[in-house]
Structure 1
Amino acid sequence: MRRYPYDLYASVIASDATPDSNGNYTAQIGTFSKVSVCRDLVNDAGTTVRLDDQTTQVYDYKIVLPKSCPEIAAGTPVEVRDGSQVRAKGQVLRFYRGQLSCQLWV
């Protein structure tokens, strides 16, 4: 059994909002790119996570990542993929870097 069998993709802003010839701003374009390997754990029990503002929220998935992964900001859209199949997706609620691994809650 592999420790991190899936891939984590995060939405990266490909371009900033720019004005067109009429002065109207176009939307930012985001694309998903691979950030790290991971494994996902479904929250079947309705457990909550404490956010940075000290509120709590029920999360859908806890995603475990290797210690070497980059920090992912709260609010970033992410997807867990198994090849081309999307296993989990949502916005990051919290990121935590521990002694042995990193965790994020979606």
Structure 2
Amino acid sequence: MDNSLKDKVEQLNWKADVTLKNVEEFRRALLKLTDSEKTKLVLELTEVSYLNSAALGVIADAVLRAGRADKELVIGGVQATVGEIFEIVHFRTLMKIFPDISEAYAYFKGEE
């Protein structure tokens, strides 16, 4: 993480595939992220290889919620399998998605 952004970015490190069993926990975690006082939000998915359709809805809702609050939520650390899912559902039209978490921070650093 870029130290100059440490106090400006709120990051959620989600470490499990999202399935029916944990989608509500995922929803609560994203709700907490979007409720942060910070305006730059990062969802880190480095260890995630699967998201079900409900998880995609949760992410879309979180992006819209963040936008309504004048915040920006981006995704960093995307495995190829999850990247393919995002490509199929055209998530890049909704939000910024970065293969590596450092790219998400570089994006926010460029906005300063």
> What TM-score, normalized to structure 1?
0.26
Which structure has greater helix proportion?
2
Structure ID, larger Rg? 1
* TM-score using structure 2 length: 0.25
